Copies of this chain bind each other. A is one copy, B any other.
């Protein structure tokens, strides 16, 4: 069996928020890993056999054993490399609160964000933008509570934690939405705490070189939108492929 730091591979897509989570988590832990870029329009045999159920990135392969679903992977990384800085808090109640908000992000914020990018009509886009704004307002409130309690810079406290990873991996797409559609989802006016938090997040050492430039997200979003617009959208690979 491979040693704990040996033989770690990540199958990802550079712009995939979910792959970004995994890569930052590994960086926080100081784990060296091989990164393999997937083409979601032409998936590798390794991806298809490693995640036969969902056929999506990210996949972490550790000592030959594959793990899928980004939040599952992040928790695995936190448990295996337990001696390194923690991603989840130590206290069970704090862990539950972190898991609650991470689930909120994936179930309430991300579907709205994806909906803005994939909307077939401007009416649908506006509805999805409202849905996402409502979720961002909830997250602003959640962060206000954290900040009021301990005045720390991140959901995780002094350093980036589970909720920071869950939310921060989406920042390049939020910026892409602002550029493409003029909707500011993280904004100094409406969500001042999250706007300041976002600036801190991208500067964290573990996130450097992992959070892509918004230009890449814009380009990717345009490709997806072209596919959605095309009649082939229903059968072709689409944005949901980069979800996990």
Contact = CB atoms under 8 A, between A and B. Distances in A.
A26 to B, nearest CB: 14
Interface residues of A, number: 23
Nearest to A82: B92
A206 interface: no
Nearest to A92: B79
A230 interface: no
Contacts of A103: 69, 71-72
A107 to B, nearest CB: 9
**Number of this chain's copies in the complex:** 2
A124 B95 CA distance: 39
A96 interface: yes
A97 B100 CA distance: 20
A76 B53 contact: no
A138 interface: yes
Contacts of A71: 99, 103
A75 B95 CA distance: 9
Most buried by B among A53, A79, A97: A53
A67 interface: yes
Nearest to A104: B53
A96 B60 CA distance: 11
B53 A99 contact: no
Contact of A72 (B67, B80, B96): B96
B72 A99 contact: yes
Given A53-B104, A68-B100, A75-B95, 11 more contacts: A53-B138, A67-B93, A69-B99, A69-B100, A72-B96, A72-B103, A75-B96, A75-B99, A76-B92, A76-B93, A79-B95
Interface of A: 53, 62, 65, 67-69, 71-73, 75-76, 79-80, 92-93, 95-97, 99-100, 103-104, 138
